[in-house]
Amino acid sequence: MTAQYRALFCDLSTDRVLDALPVSGVSFEDYIGKTGTMTGTLTAPDRATADRIKAAVVPGRTAVWISRDRAIWWGGIIWTTALGSTARGAPAKAEIQAGTFDSYLDHRLLTADVTATDEDQFVIARRLVDFAQSTDGGDIGIRLGTDTSGVKRTRKYSHYDLPKIRELLDKLAAVQNGFEWRIRCYRNDTGERIKELQLGHPRITTSRGRAETVLDYPGPVMSYRLPYDATTRATHWQSRGATNSTTNRPLMSTPLHITGAIDAGWPRLDGTSDYTTITAKTALDEHATADLTEAWTREIVPEITVNLEAAQLTPAILGATIRLRIADVWTSGFTTGRYRVVGFSVRAPERSQPETATLTLDAATRGAIGNNDGS
């Protein structure tokens, strides 16, 4: 039986239902660590339907929820629409594009100073989101939670820098011993649509309440890609912070390197990053350590495309660990690996095309980092 997709359009501030409209060509994606998008097309065969679309779908103030057989699979904000007509006699269409609810924080600035002294990093993250929602017109109903990470930070944010709240969250998370965050969307037991700030230290994980998922190629896995990219890989790293007004020189992090990389035969590959608002060396060193870790381990970002019905997956797979088994000319017998799912991209069934999902996977390998001793 073909899954039924439905789009529900709501007022962003109140989540009041505005309309339910059929959407064709639906595709959507959700990720841990970056904004996901949704695209689709609304058809207006007559003026009455066109008026409904114009009334319900207002970029920047309309939320859209995508359900699959009544379960919420995606939620976000409509940011762009394109109204148009083509051949004579063909119905008019509206192309829509939306971003997951975290995209709202890209449109909010920190307009007051915030100081956190020896506070749990989750508490600081929630303070930033709470600031966005506590201002007039800023509450879009993101639930914050109460859990902690056990890692304390000291941060000072100045409103004179006009920082985007999304950027502050990303920078707070992207340090040594940091965390991951996303806005999780689901329907609770009472049927209420929920948007929730999900925090995970050091990572967002889920067991999904059942045995480990095994995906085979050939099998439910229709295709896969294992791209190798060393263009941004680094064995050594140093970051720059704010410029000292007296010396006119930037704050520099401790030089770092991947322990054992040179001895293992790697050539020296240098990398750097800039954090022009950071004035504390401890914070700068945390960023440099995290940046080197990412630069050393980012070479493999596997992607697999699965038949969604055969694989029996849902967006709840985000954060879970799967076992991938591949048998083809690139492998000797079966090659098996365990990966964490960090991206979930769905294409709804259309005519003869099956319902598919592309999973972005994260290898769990990490290198050891030490101070630069000249190796």
Domain ranges of the chain: 5-103, 108-200, 213-227+300-362, 236-298
CATH class of 213-227+300-362: mainly beta
pLDDT of residue 286: 93
Residue-wise pLDDT tens for the chain (375 aa)?
677 888 999 999 999 999 999 899 999 999 998 999 999 999 999 999 999 999 999 999 999 999 998 899 999 999 999 999 887 778 999 999 999 999 999 999 999 999 999 999 999 999 999 999 999 999 999 999 999 999 999 999 999 999 999 999 999 999 989 999 999 999 999 999 999 999 999 999 886 556 789 999 999 999 999 888 889 899 999 999 999 999 999 999 999 999 999 999 999 999 999 999 899 999 999 999 999 998 998 756 679 999 998 999 999 999 999 999 999 998 877 778 888 999 999 998 877 788 999 999 986 544 444 555 443
In words, the CATH class of domain 108-200 is: alpha beta
Fold topology of 5-103: Phage tail proteins - horseshoe like beta roll fold (2.30.300)
pTM: 0.86
Would you call 46 helix, strand, or coil by DSSP?
A: coil
Q: Which residues pair with 332 in a beta bridge?
A: none
pLDDT at site 113: 96
Query: In sequence order, which residues have a C-beta less than 8 Å from that of residue 192 and are 6 or more positions away?
Result: none
Query: What whole-number distance in Å separates Cα of residue 105 and Cα of residue 129?
Result: 8
Non-local CB neighbours of 223 within 8 Å, separated by 6+ positions: 217, 304, 305
pLDDT at 375: 38
The CA-to-CA distance between both ends of the chain, in Å, stands at 61
